[in-house]
């Protein structure tokens, strides 16, 4: 039996142990509802161990690179300021790319020496398995990866109780290079806006624990900047393709699979003109595209409508903001 298959067998044993104790849940990602969106926090068995707002999580891996920590949990009654999740709903994850230092990658690595310096992970992959061991993994590519089902909510006090299996591995049967690995994901559920980007740090066995602690601080300092603003299709760049995602989703509050993207740039749960502004400001800072300013639109609004009517259009141009219509007329 290969070492990888041995890890699978170990995972099955761990999950069976977890299942035998329906009320023991250790520590993990707390998932609750807040208004029209999913929010996360930190859950611990310790008294008063539940907090809302946490988006960075960490785990120190054993020598085989296998863990069920962090887990995913939801509780009822809900912590103050949140609501319980409805029973019978599936919760999914999607992996997202991170961007730092001009580099975009869905799995980053720091060897743990000196100051945190994360680069694209090479010859390594991080895999997360759903309840049926269907896998989704990231390997350092500059792309989002559609995930699978974390679990299904129930009417129990632990409305979500999901000890999923994480595996960090190197190429072939080799172990991943020593150090700390970082990946990002979001959680989504039908009818609610998805969570903000979450960050997971995994230290390989033998890596100084201080390196993992430094990574948590590093991530918390950058929690709102590692996901590129305006990158609505999660491909690591802000361009006209992100405008297309926004225009197609304009007026929607429903999360979409990561293969389509999600254009809620300001995180308010509604895809509207404010999210166009997020995209516009980001693309103006990084490209030579000519994006009209509101004052210009007031002067040329009527002519722009005529131009749009003569050109190919898609989506719902009559409902989009005038500034966005003006950009569309310049593109086509």
Asked if 158 and 23 count as a contact pair (C-beta separation under 8 A), the reply is: yes
Tell me the C-alpha distance between 113 and 221, whole Å: 19
End-of-domain residue from the set 207, 227, 247: 227
Return the closest-CA partner of residue 197 out of 99, 89, 80: 99
37 & 172 share domain: yes
Tell me the C-alpha distance between 297 and 294, whole Å: 5
134 & 267 share domain: no
End-of-domain residue from the set 227, 248, 264: 227
Asked if 168 and 128 count as a contact pair (C-beta separation under 8 A), the reply is: no
Distances (CA, A) of 215 to 57, 154, 199, 320: 10, 34, 10, 41
100 & 171 share domain: yes
Global confidence as pTM: 0.80
220 & 249 share domain: no
User: Region 48-65: what's the mean pLDDT?
Assistant: 91
User: Region 247-270: what's the mean pLDDT?
Assistant: 77
Tell me the pLDDT of the chain averaged across its residues: 81
- The pLDDT, as a whole number, for residue 318 is 44
Give 211-255 pLDDT, tens digit per residue. 999 999 999 999 998 988 898 888 878 899 999 999 998 987 766
Q: Which domain holds residue 267?
A: 229-291
124 & 189 share domain: yes
User: Region 257-265: what's the mean pLDDT?
Assistant: 75
Question: For residues 202, 208, 213 and 215, what is the CA-based torsion angle, rounded to 10 degrees?
Answer: -60
89 & 64 share domain: yes
Starting at the edge strand that comes first in sequence, how are the strands of the sheet with 37-43 ordered? 51-52, 37-43, 28-34, 71-75, 158-162
217 & 267 share domain: no
Asked if 224 and 160 count as a contact pair (C-beta separation under 8 A), the reply is: no
Most confident stretch, 96-110, 239-253, 260-274: 96-110
In a domain, 302, yes or no: no
Strand partners, 192: 189
211 & 242 share domain: no
- CATH number of the structural domain spanning residue 268: 1.10.1330.10
In a domain, 330, yes or no: no
In a domain, 325, yes or no: no
The yes-or-no verdict on residue 307 having pLDDT over 50 is: no
In a domain, 175, yes or no: yes
The yes-or-no verdict on residue 151 having pLDDT over 60 is: yes
Give 11-51 pLDDT, tens digit per residue. 455 444 333 333 334 469 999 999 988 999 998 766 567 88
In a domain, 145, yes or no: yes
Q: Side-chain half-sphere of 15: how many Cα atoms within 13 Å?
A: 18
Distances (CA, A) of 94 to 88, 134, 220: 20, 14, 20
The yes-or-no verdict on residue 302 having pLDDT over 50 is: no
133 & 216 share domain: yes
The yes-or-no verdict on residue 152 having pLDDT over 50 is: yes
In a domain, 217, yes or no: yes
In a domain, 199, yes or no: yes
For 109, the 3-state DSSP assignment is strand
Q: Which two tokens stand for residue 84?
A: 């319980």
120 & 216 share domain: yes
Asked if 28 and 17 count as a contact pair (C-beta separation under 8 A), the reply is: no
52 & 186 share domain: yes
End-of-domain residue from the set 227, 247, 281: 227
Tell me the C-alpha distance between 3 and 12, whole Å: 14
In a domain, 287, yes or no: yes
56 & 195 share domain: yes
Return the closest-CA partner of residue 305 out of 289, 283, 320, 290: 320
**Domain count within the chain:** 2
């Amino acid at each position: 039996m290969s070492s990888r298959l041995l890890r699978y067998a170990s995972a099955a044993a761990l999950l069976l142990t977890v299942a035998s104790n329906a009320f023991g849940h250790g520590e993990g990602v707390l998932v609750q509802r807040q208004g029209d969106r999913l929010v996360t926090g930190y859950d611990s068995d310790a008294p008063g161990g539940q907090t809302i707002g946490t988006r960075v999580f960490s785990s120190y891996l054993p020598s085989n690179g296998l863990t069920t920590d962090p887990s995913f949990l939801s509780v009822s009654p809900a912590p103050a300021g949140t609501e319980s999740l409805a029973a019978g709903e599936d919760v999914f994850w999607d992996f997202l790319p991170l961007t730092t230092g001009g580099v975009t990658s869905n799995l980053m690595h720091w060897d743990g020496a000196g100051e945190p310096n994360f680069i694209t992970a090479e010859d390594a992959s991080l895999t997360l398995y759903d309840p049926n061991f269907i896998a989704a993994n990231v390997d350092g590519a500059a792309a989002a990866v559609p995930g699978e089902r974390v679990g299904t909510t129930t009417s129990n006090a632990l409305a979500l109780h999901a000890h999923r299996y994480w595996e960090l591995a190197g190429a072939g049967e080799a172990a991943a290079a020593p150090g700390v690995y970082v990946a990002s994901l979001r959680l989504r559920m039908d009818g609610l806006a998805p969570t903000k980007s979450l960050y997971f740090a995994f230290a390989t066995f033998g890596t100084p624990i201080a390196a993992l602690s430094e990574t948590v601080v590093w991530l918390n300092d950058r929690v709102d900047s590692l996901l590129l603003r305006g990158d609505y299709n999660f491909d690591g760049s802000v361009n006209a393709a992100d405008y297309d995602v926004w225009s197609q989703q304009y007026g929607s509050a429903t999360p979409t699979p990561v293969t389509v993207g999600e254009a809620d740039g300001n995180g308010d749960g509604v895809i509207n003109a404010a999210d166009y502004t997020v995209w516009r400001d980001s693309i103006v800072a990084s490209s030579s595209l000519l994006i009209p300013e509101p004052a210009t639109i007031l002067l040329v609004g009527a002519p722009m409508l005529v131009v749009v009517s003569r050109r190919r259009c898609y989506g719902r141009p009559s409902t989009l903001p005038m500034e966005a219509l003006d950009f569309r007329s310049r593109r086509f």
